[in-house]
Amino acid sequence: MLTFQPVTLADIDTLRPFFAERKGRACDYTVGGTLLWRDFFSTAFALWEETLLFRHRHVDGSIAFSMPMGKNVSGALERIRSECREAGIPCLISFIEEEDLAVLREEYQVIVCEERDWFDYLYRAEDLGQMTGRRYNGQRNHMNAFKKENPDWFYAPLDGSTLGDVSDFFARFRSVYAKESAAFWEELEKTSEFLENLPAYGMVGTVLYRAPGAVAAFSAGEVVGDTLYAHIEKADHTVRGSYQMIASGFVRMHAGEGVAFVNREDDSGDEGLRRSKLSYHPERLIPKYTATLL
């Protein structure tokens, strides 16, 4: 039997090399995407023949597995299917991209379910960082208003020197903003954990100040291959242009040489969030699927 254990902060260095070797761009196969949502999805992992396997709770409550990563993907899939058969449960492989689906269809008969609420939004780094052209007129108007109303604004990296300001800002954010969804509250909890364990996560971040000591927004994520992932983004809704400013500033600060794309993750089916992500004009959406291996 495969031995799965819950993912913890202590496992980051074990998981990171497998994510670095993966060719896809889905946020679910990154340190931030895994750690920040590990409790929401009850994520556990196992290592078998230099291959990493994840088990998690599917959105419908079923037990599911992610696409294995490592030296023996085919063997790992067979182990998963065998253990599901012995347990008398469907063999669900979820959070899979189109490339993964092609691999599964070569070896198995599959039933495929498209998971639209979990599609990632992928943007060109140059577009999101600069926001030039007519289609970004609305965003630039908000940004210009921010700069005019806050003449002493500036960006700073999220590190030990700014962590206190960001923590105070986020404490106020938590006391003001609320949604009914469980995902929203889980994100708040894990953002607090991230701020309390900044070095352990090893991610990069940007802080937007209205003036010295006055945080308007912050963002955090990581670079994997040619893609910058924006895992966390929080801004003061009452400050016009704060979201547009942090979205652009995060990219300009951290999309260095070789970074062509920005993944701003999924919308979780939230209609307001969906409209917001579409308004930034994604290059494309990254489809995700759940496949049942027959």
The pLDDT of residue 227 is: 97
User: What span, in angstroms and rounded, lies between the C-alpha atoms of 251 and 175?
Assistant: 28
Q: Do domains 5-119 and 121-265 have the same CATH topology?
A: yes
The answer to whether residues 110 and 292 touch, using CB atoms and an 8 Å cutoff, is yes
Q: Locate 70 and state its tokens.
A: 């490592």
Upper half-sphere CA count for residue 187 (Cβ side, 13 Å): 20
pTM here? 0.95
- Kindly give the residue spans of alpha helices, DSSP state H, lying in the chain: 12-21, 31-35, 73-87, 98-107, 125-130, 137-149, 163-176, 182-196, 198-201, 242-254, 271-279
Which CATH code, of 3.40.630.30, 3.40.50.620, 1.20.120.10, 3.30.2350.10, is assigned to 5-119?
Answer: 3.40.630.30
Print pLDDT tens along the chain (294 aa): 899 999 999 999 999 999 999 989 999 999 999 999 999 999 999 999 999 999 999 988 899 999 999 999 999 999 999 999 999 999 999 999 999 999 999 999 999 999 999 999 999 999 999 999 999 999 999 999 999 999 999 999 999 999 999 999 999 999 988 777 888 899 999 999 999 999 999 999 999 999 999 999 999 999 999 999 999 999 999 999 999 999 999 999 999 889 999 999 999 998 999 999 999 999 999 999 999 999
The pLDDT of residue 184 is: 87
- Please, which residues have CB within 8 angstroms of residue 171's CB and are 6 or more apart in sequence? none
CATH fold label, 121-265: Aminopeptidase (3.40.630)
The pLDDT of residue 73 is: 96
User: What span, in angstroms and rounded, lies between the C-alpha atoms of 158 and 205?
Assistant: 5
The answer to whether residues 253 and 93 touch, using CB atoms and an 8 Å cutoff, is no
User: What span, in angstroms and rounded, lies between the C-alpha atoms of 90 and 68?
Assistant: 17
User: What span, in angstroms and rounded, lies between the C-alpha atoms of 216 and 176?
Assistant: 14
The pLDDT of residue 181 is: 81
The domain spans of the chain are: 5-119, 121-265
Nearest CA-CA partner of 235 in 189, 169, 185: 169
The pLDDT of residue 225 is: 94
Q: What angle do CA 126, 131, 134 make, to 5 degrees?
A: 125
State the SS3 of 92-154: EEEEECHHHHHHHHHHCCEEEEECHHHCEEEEEHHHHHHCCCHHHHHHHHHHHHHHHHCCCCE
